[in-house]
Amino acid sequence: MKPNYVENSHPAIISKEMFESVQKEMKRRSELRDFSDKERRTKYSSKYPFSGKIICGNCSAVYRRKRWGPTNKYKKYVWNCRTREEQGVDACDMKAVDEEKLKAAFVRVANRVIKDSDGFIKKMMGNIEKVLNENKDEAKLKIIDSRLAELREQITNLIRLNSRSSIDSDIYDEEYNRLVLEMENLRSKRLAYTKTEMECKNNYSRVREIEKILNGHEMIKRFDEELFEVLVEKIRVISLVEMEFVLKTGVVVREIL
């Protein structure tokens, strides 16, 4: 007999919003790219909750996980700056960070966010608006679009003129390449505006998802990996005892270990 499945017949272990946000974050981590160069693409990129998210405040290198202690009784896990680990203390003097202390720090940060969720959501939205306003200039966009239209017409006229009167090939190539180069440069600028606008729209959606998750969320007593993935973009190590938790859309929360 074919089994029957009934949706929503039991209370969810986690909310639908939390599940969807975690799925998106898992996809992001599976597609994780290095922060500035190919050296940062390693097998450590998505194996643990903190993978790819801890950044050295000195050299901007990604941290990676390491076990300390000779036996299981004394073992603990820490996160090391990759630059220091590979090139020594002269290259970067930032010390290792204890994993359990990081988890405890996140619990405190998460509870601050939960307690003042309206305030944090407002800050997140404010950051999006700031980025959008800084990068969106309608007057400049109109100038770019107008010039692009002029260039398209000039290129079309140049091609027509050449087909009718056979312009000297060197002169034709020089003028054609000049027009095309200017058009490509303007298109790149136009694309940058469009890309910023799309990123802001995506961030709006992300913040709304976070708002749904935080709404009515209870304070947490232990490290919650799903909530960490939803809230935190990266952790910047300022010193052995001070961290900056950079939340989605750029809101920064400082915390002492």
pLDDT in tens, 64-113: 999 987 777 778 999 999 999 999 999 999 999 999 999 999 999 999 99
List all residues 6 or more positions away from 52 whose beta carbon is below 8 Å from its beta carbon. Answer: 29, 32, 44, 45, 46, 62
Percent of the chain surpassing pLDDT 90: 41
pLDDT at 106: 96
Please check the confidence at residue 165 and state whether its pLDDT lies above 70: yes
Q: What is the pLDDT of residue 223?
A: 96
The two beta strands, 54-56 and 97-98, are: unpaired
State the pLDDT confidence band at 17, using cuts at 50, 70 and 90. low
Residue type, 1: M
Q: What pLDDT, on a 0 to 100 scale, did the predictor assign at position 227?
A: 92
Mean pLDDT taken over the chain: 82
Q: What is the pLDDT of residue 26?
A: 59
Query: What pLDDT, on the 0 to 100 scale, is given for residue 45?
Result: 46
Average pLDDT over residues 5-16: 50
Place of tokens 């608006």: 129
Residue 228 identity? F
Q: For residue 36, give the nearest of 65, 64, 62 by alpha carbon.
A: 62
User: What's the whole-number mean pLDDT along residues 154-182?
Assistant: 89
| C-alpha span between 136 and 159 (Å, rounded) | 34
pLDDT value at residue 13: 47
Q: What is the pLDDT of residues 116-154, one digit of tens each?
A: 988 988 888 888 878 777 666 677 778 888 999 999 999
Closest CA to 18 of 202, 204, 217: 217
Q: In what order do the strands lie in the sheet with 232-237?
A: 54-56, 232-237, 242-247, 252-256
Render pLDDT for 18-49 as a digit per residue (tens, 0 to 9): 556 556 655 555 554 444 444 344 444 457 89
Euclidean distance between CA atoms 168 and 163, whole angstroms: 11
pLDDT of residue 222: 95
The mean pLDDT of 165-192, rounded to a whole number, is 88
Q: Is the dihedral of CA 243, 248, 250, 251 positive or negative?
A: negative
